[in-house]
Amino acid sequence: MPVLFQAHGAPPLLDDAQWVTELADWAKALPRPKAIVVVSAHWEARPLSIGAAPDVAARLRGLMQTAGIETIDEPERGLDHGTYVPLMCMYPEAELPVLQISLPSMDPKELFAMGKALAPLRDEGVLVIGSGFITHNLRALSLRETPAWASDFDQWTTDVVSRHDHDALVDYRAKAPGVRESLPTHEHFVPLIVAAAAAPDARVTWPITGFWWGRRDDAAVGAAGVG
């Protein structure tokens, strides 16, 4: 299976026909997954917290234990909009088990290790998704034009992910242009690090690109993301 990174959008985007169609077409182009694991920008909890979907949760616990990563079960936790908004477009029949897991840290090295631990799921038919944004600065939202700092940061990110420069990606706070303006906080960007680590040598494609209101829309690492 590929690994995806996607810009999840807010719930009102479900009324945007273009956005819904793009995500639906993307899903149709992918192999049919047996289950889905989502790392969303909207769940920060340490230790790594695991939601519902018992069978997938048990497998994920085992992978994290092998990697030395502490976990805790949160079976009552529902799905936030970083998970349910894109999945309502991609898999509207809601027939697949969906497991959401938390961001246990903002440390890129820890998150890269977490992504590596998820990698075996690809060979088991599980679709791993990092859900966030490449740029996310609501105070600088613009309906008129995309700021240069956003374009520069987006281009830098596209380049380092596409050529598998994981050292640069992990050190993005020091190396990327426009990072302070693009990411006043980092929770929306770091799911990309998890996704890149889960498919470290896969071909990277970007099937949905562009900016909406000065922020990056959907991107993918692999068949549609990191693939």
Q: Reduce the secondary structure of 48-104 to three states and give it as a string.
A: EEECCCHHHHHHHHHHHHHCCCCEEECCCCCCCHHHHHHHHHHCCCCCCCEEEEEEC
Does a structural domain hold residue 205? yes
Domain at 13, CATH number: 3.40.830.10
Residue-range definition of the domain harbouring residue 136: 3-216
Asked if residues 121 and 45 have their Cβ atoms less than 8 Å apart, the reply is no
Q: How far is CA 102 from CA 39, 80, 94, 147, in A?
A: 6, 11, 21, 31
What is the C-alpha to C-alpha distance for residues 110 and 173, in angstroms, rounded to an integer? 15
Tens digit of each residue's pLDDT (9 = 90 or more) over 132-164 = 988 887 766 655 677 888 889 999 999 999 999
Residue 225 domain-assigned (yes or no):
no
Kindly state whether residue 68 falls inside one of the protein's structural domains.
yes
Domain assignment of residue 57, yes or no: yes
| 189 pLDDT tier (thresholds 50, 70, 90) | very high
| CA distance linking residue 204 with residue 199, whole number of Å | 9
Token duo for residue 184 = 């006043």
User: Per the structure, how many domains does the chain have?
Assistant: 1
Does 223 fall in a domain? no
In a domain, 222, yes or no: no
Residue 227 falls inside a structural domain: no
Report pLDDT digits (tens) over 101-128.
Answer: 999 999 999 999 999 999 999 999 999 9
Structure tokens at 102: 């938390």
Q: Is 58 exposed, middle or buried (0-12, 13-18, 19+ CB in 10 A)?
A: exposed
User: Is residue 187 a part of any domain in this protein?
Assistant: yes
